[in-house]
Copies of this chain bind each other. A is one copy, B any other.
Amino acid sequence: MPKIVDHDERRLELVDATWRIIARQGLESATMREIATEAGFANGALKPYFPTKDTLLEFAFSHVFNRTNLRIAEVSAGRTGLDALRAFCLEVLPLDDERVNEARIVVPFWQRAINDPRKAAIHQQSMAEWLATIRRFLAEARDSGDVDAAVDDSVLAGLLLNMLLGAQIEAALAPDGHTDFGHAAQLEGYLSLLGKKPGR
C-alpha cells in the first residue's frame, strides 16, 4: 500500500524550516538543500512541493499573510470601529517573537518583489485588502462619533498602513530577542489623535 502523505502538512513543515533557516542565516545563504535537511526531507524530496526557492518563498509569504488574516478575523469578530481597528493592528504589529520572525520573512519577500511583478502583485493585493479593512473600521468609528479628525479616512488609512509596514522593518532589523519597540504605544497615540479628546 502506498504511504499516505498529507501534502499540505508537508508544505507547512517546509515553511517552518524555511523560517528557521532564513531567521538564522538570511535569505541568500539559505539553500534548498539546507531547508530540506532542516525539515527532515531527503535531498530531492523537496522538488515536488517547491521546484524553486522562489516558489517556496511565495508560499511562505502567503502563509504568513493568511495566518495573520485568520488571527485578525478571530480577534475582530464581534467588534467594530476603533475597537476592531485596535485589535487588527495589534495582530499585525510585531509585538512578540513569532511576529518578529514573520517580519524577518516579509522583508526578504519585499526585497524580491521589487524586481518580480508576480510577488509585487501578491503584496499589493494584500495591502489593498488591509486598506479596505482599515477604512471599514474607520467609517464605523465615524458613524459612532469616535473619530472626528478633519482628515480624510483614505489618508488616515494609508498613514496607518505605512506605520504598520515600517514597524516590520524596525522589528526585522533589531537584535535577537528584542520585541518591545513602542509600537503598541504608537498605535494608541494614533488612535487618540483621531478621537474625541477629553474636555472637548
Contact = CB atoms under 8 A, between A and B. Distances in A.
Interface stretch (A11-19, A37-45, A73-81, A115-123): A115-123
A144 interface: no
A170 interface: yes
A173 interface: yes
Contacts of A28: 28, 112
Contacts of A166: 161-167, 169
Interface string A134-176: 0000000000000001111011101101111111011011110
Nearest to A160: B163
Nearest to A156: B189
A186 B162 contact: yes
A71 B194 CA distance: 32
Given A124-B173, A175-B117, A193 B151 contact: yes
Copies in the complex: 2
Interface size class of A (residues with CB under 8 A): 35 or more
B165 A182 contact: no
A52 interface: no
A64 interface: no
Contact of A167 (B162, B167, B193): B162
A130 B168 CA distance: 18
A197 interface: yes
Contacts of A26: 112, 114-116
Interface of A: 24-29, 104, 107-108, 110-117, 120, 123-124, 127, 149-152, 154-156, 158-159, 161-167, 169-170, 172-175, 181-183, 185-186, 188-190, 192-194, 197-198, 200
Given A114-B172, A150-B197, A152-B185, 6 more contacts: A24-B115, A123-B173, A152-B189, A159-B163, A162-B169, A169-B169
